[in-house]
């Protein structure tokens, strides 16, 4: 899709189509990024938590460092990667939702991995030993540990989602905050829209979008807490 056809909005009234479009972009990008991140983070956390290997301390340090990595730097790195000069330049991902997914994936993965690793290593060794004593395979033991650490893992996913959906700097850099002239968002999400609306003095719209963002985080918190068993074992 040609970028010339995507005209940013200068003046747009407070309307439901605009709001729905922004919420859709936010949820689609953030949920996709967190889902992909979870698929990567849980196996990594299990591997680091279960195995001893050279460089394990370095891997743990990288994970912990990544949890606080500046989002603007992540945005710059991803923008270079998808630019014409970058390794993903042939895919033409500059200023697209896919680039936003990559950026949020990079931000969420260390968070989900780090918190999941803490939950997994926090499971009592007696649980693992009991699983092995009952003839369980390595996979069986891993599933038992995941079950015991499920609330911590659910918390990790929630933290990753919060990191992703509340991000402004990196998605603004790689997405461009683009919307069609009719108010349909292309790469404009809740956080970048709030920034734009506030700068243009449309505080009512900005506050409403902020309330939606908080409501979404609370809703996901409730769902993940429910799936995680509320910490009860």
What tens digit of pLDDT does each residue of 221-233 get?
A: 787 667 655 544 4
Spatial contact of 190 and 24, defined as CB atoms under 8 Å apart: no
Ramachandran quadrant class, 177 (left: phi over 0; alpha: psi -120 to 50; beta: rest): left
pLDDT recorded at residue 227? 63
- For the chain, percent of residues with pLDDT exceeding 70: 88
pLDDT tens column, 135-151 = 667 777 778 888 888 88
The structure tokens 């040609």 sit at 2
pLDDT exceeds cutoff 50 at 80: yes
The band of 15, judged by pLDDT with boundaries at 50, 70 and 90, is: low
pLDDT at 10: 40
* Domains of the chain in sequence order: 15-224 (1.10.3720.10)
Give the pLDDT confidence score for residue 123 in this predicted structure.
Answer: 80
Which residues 6+ apart lie within 8 Å of 13 measured at CB? none
CA 66 to chain centre: 13
What local confidence, expressed as pLDDT, does residue 136 receive? Answer: 66
Predicted local distance difference test score (pLDDT) of residue 2: 43
pTM for the predicted model, two decimal places: 0.84
| Secondary structure (H, E, C), the chain | CCHHHCCCCCCCCCCHHHHHHHHHHHHHHHHHHHHHHHHHHHHHHHHHHHCCCCCHHHHHHHHHHHCCCCHHHHHHHHHHHHCCCCCCHHHCCCCCHHHHHHHHHHHHHHHHHHHHHHHHHCCCHHHHHHHHHCCCCHHHHHHHHHHHCHHHHHHHHHHHHHHHHCCCHHHHHHHCCCECCCCCECCCCHHHHHHHHHHCCCHHHHHHHHHHHHHHHHHHHHHHHHHCHHHCC
The Cα 233–Cα 221 span in angstroms is: 19
């Amino acid at each position: 899709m040609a970028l010339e056809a995507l005209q940013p909005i200068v003046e747009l009234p407070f309307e439901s189509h605009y709001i729905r479009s922004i919420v859709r972009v936010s949820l689609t990008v953030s949920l996709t990024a967190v889902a992909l991140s979870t698929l990567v983070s849980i196996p990594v956390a299990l591997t680091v938590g279960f195995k001893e290997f050279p460089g394990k301390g370095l891997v743990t340090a990288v994970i912990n460092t990544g949890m606080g990595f500046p989002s603007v730097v992540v945005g710059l790195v991803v923008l270079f990667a998808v630019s014409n000069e970058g390794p993903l330049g042939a895919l033409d991902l500059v200023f697209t939702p896919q680039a936003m997914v990559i950026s949020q994936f990079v931000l969420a993965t260390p968070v989900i991995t780090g918190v999941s690793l803490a939950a997994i290593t926090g499971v009592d060794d007696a649980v693992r030993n009991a699983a092995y004593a009952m003839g369980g395979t390595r996979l069986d033991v891993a599933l038992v540990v995941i079950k015991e650490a499920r609330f911590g893992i659910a918390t990790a996913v929630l933290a990753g989602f919060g990191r992703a959906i509340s991000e402004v700097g990196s998605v603004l850099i790689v997405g461009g905050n683009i919307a069609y002239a009719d108010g349909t968002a292309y790469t404009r999400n809740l956080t970048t829209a709030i920034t734009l609306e506030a700068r243009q003095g449309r505080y009512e719209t900005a506050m409403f979008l902020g309330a939606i963002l908080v409501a979404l985080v609370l809703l996901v918190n409730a769902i993940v807490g429910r799936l995680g068993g509320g910490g009860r074992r």
